[in-house]
């Protein structure tokens, strides 16, 4: 079997490895292939790179999209995942079960399939333990979500040293939060601005932001609202990450492919001449995606903070 060219672009290296797994029988007909989110975590690439790799495999007819399931190896119908599929078939004695095992398994399910797939019964299935045994470690799903969020923030620790200047500090914080959401897209569904998550590592982010604005002449009202506005921009943009991945798995189309498929519909809307400004914009290629929205919005918000500090 041909070796994977390590000098090839990242998406082609991913294609080569997944192709190898399929040809070697490690992934058989009907088996689910890694989702875009799993590829992002395993190879450390951007969502767009992961999507491109799956698109190539689909074009080679090695995989196909099954609504509600995701990408599977072509051939037989997808099989029902066996007990402990995500957990690598591990069996955990109910008496020896720990809270960390419950939280880690819950995060694996949510990372791979989204928050909608998460339930106490599903976690118990993955760990191969009775469902009721989980309640010795967590009181309810609500507590589990707090523990999951705290663990997610723990994966990207705040630096011990602060870069010079309030803007650099706030920008670093927002980019760190964006990285956490990219790694765990479900997290955006858990975080709330009006009912803050009482997770110590999440609260530490608020403390960092307040420290960056401290001593700048801002009142408490402005400080808290600025911190919340920045956090809301990151979280609000990140909400699209999970929906984007789910839509791709359900349809088998990347965002670019979906837009291309809508070309005739959009053309029909614009043909009547009711949207002249939008028509003019569509004549020029504009790269609008979650990354560009995050970047543009972050810089404009920081510009606004700068103006407020100068008043």
Residue 32 and residue 71 in contact, taking contact as beta carbons nearer than 8 Å: yes
Dihedral sign of CA atoms 198, 109, 61, 253 in order: negative
Residue with tokens 């190896």: 73
Q: Distance (Å, rounded) from C-alpha 238 to C-alpha 249?
A: 18
Residue intervals in the chain for CATH 1.10.10.60:
94-138
Residue with tokens 């051939």: 75
The structural architecture, per CATH, of the domain 166-310 is: Orthogonal Bundle (1.10)
Can you give the pLDDT at residue 236?
92
Q: Does the global pTM surpass 0.75?
A: no
Can you give the pLDDT at residue 42?
86
Can you give the pLDDT at residue 80?
43
pLDDT along the chain (311 residues), means of 10: 61 90 87 83 80 84 75 64 48 72 91 84 87 90 92 88 90 94 91 81 91 89 92 92 68 65 73 77 72 91 90 66
Q: Distance (Å, rounded) from C-alpha 139 to C-alpha 82?
A: 27
Q: Distance (Å, rounded) from C-alpha 91 to C-alpha 88?
A: 9
Q: What is the CA radius of gyration of the chain?
A: 22
Q: Distance (Å, rounded) from C-alpha 185 to C-alpha 109?
A: 12
Can you give the pLDDT at residue 249?
59
Can you give the pLDDT at residue 235?
93
Can you give the pLDDT at residue 181?
92
Q: Could you give the angle at the alpha carbon of 108 between the alpha carbons of 158 and 138, nearest 5°?
A: 85
Residue with tokens 């609260």: 203
Look at the domain 10-73 and name its fold. Answer: Arc Repressor Mutant, subunit A (1.10.10)
Q: Distance (Å, rounded) from C-alpha 214 to C-alpha 298?
A: 20
Q: For the purposes of burial, counting CB atoms within 10 Å of the CB of 176, is it exposed (0-12), middle (13-18) or buried (19 or more)?
A: middle
Q: For the purposes of burial, counting CB atoms within 10 Å of the CB of 175, is it exposed (0-12), middle (13-18) or buried (19 or more)?
A: middle
Between the CA of residue 228 and those of 224, 225, 310, what are the distances in Å? 6, 5, 20
Element (H, E) at 76: none
Residues sharing a CB contact under 8 Å with residue 47, sequence separation 6 or more, in sequence order: 36, 37, 40, 182, 241, 244, 245
Can you give the pLDDT at residue 79?
44
Q: For the purposes of burial, counting CB atoms within 10 Å of the CB of 123, is it exposed (0-12), middle (13-18) or buried (19 or more)?
A: buried
Residues sharing a CB contact under 8 Å with residue 300, sequence separation 6 or more, in sequence order: none
Can you give the pLDDT at residue 31?
87
Residues sharing a CB contact under 8 Å with residue 15, sequence separation 6 or more, in sequence order: 53, 56, 57
CATH code for the structural domain at 94-138: 1.10.10.60
Q: Distance (Å, rounded) from C-alpha 86 to C-alpha 22?
A: 18
Q: Distance (Å, rounded) from C-alpha 255 to C-alpha 257?
A: 5
Can you give the pLDDT at residue 81?
46
Residue intervals in the chain for CATH 1.10.10.10:
10-73
């Amino acid at each position: 079997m041909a070796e994977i060219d390590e000098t090839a672009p990242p998406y082609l290296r991913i294609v080569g490895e997944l192709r190898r797994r399929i040809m070697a029988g490690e992934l058989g007909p009907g088996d689910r292939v890694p989702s875009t989110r799993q590829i992002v975590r395993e190879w450390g690439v951007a969502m767009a790179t992961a999507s491109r790799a799956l698109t190539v495999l689909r074009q080679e007819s090695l995989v196909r999209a099954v609504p509600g399931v995701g990408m599977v190896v072509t051939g037989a119908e997808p099989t029902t995942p066996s007990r402990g599929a995500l957990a690598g078939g591990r069996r955990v004695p109910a008496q020896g079960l720990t809270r960390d095992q419950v939280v880690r398994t819950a995060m694996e399910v949510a990372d791979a399939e989204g928050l909608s797939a998460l339930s106490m019964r599903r976690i118990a299935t993955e760990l191969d333990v009775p469902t009721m045994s989980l309640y010795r470690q967590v009181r309810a799903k609500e507590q589990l979500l707090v523990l999951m969020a705290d663990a997610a923030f723990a994966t990207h620790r705040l630096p011990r040293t602060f870069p010079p200047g309030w803007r650099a500090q706030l920008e670093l914080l927002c980019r760190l939060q964006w990285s956490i959401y990219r790694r765990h897209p479900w997290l955006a569904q858990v975080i709330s601005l009006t009912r803050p998550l009482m997770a110590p590592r999440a609260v530490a982010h608020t403390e960092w932001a307040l420290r960056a604005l401290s001593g700048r002449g801002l009142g408490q009202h402005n400080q808290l609202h600025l911190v919340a506005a920045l956090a809301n921009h990151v979280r609000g943009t990140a909400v699209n990450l999970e929906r984007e991945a789910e839509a791709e798995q359900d349809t088998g189309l990347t965002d670019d492919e979906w837009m291309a498929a809508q070309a005739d519909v959009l053309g029909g809307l614009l043909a009547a001449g009711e949207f002249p400004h939008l028509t003019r914009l569509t004549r020029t290629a504009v790269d609008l995606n979650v990354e560009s929205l995050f970047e543009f919005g972050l810089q404009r918000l920081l510009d606004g903070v700068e103006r407020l500090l100068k008043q």
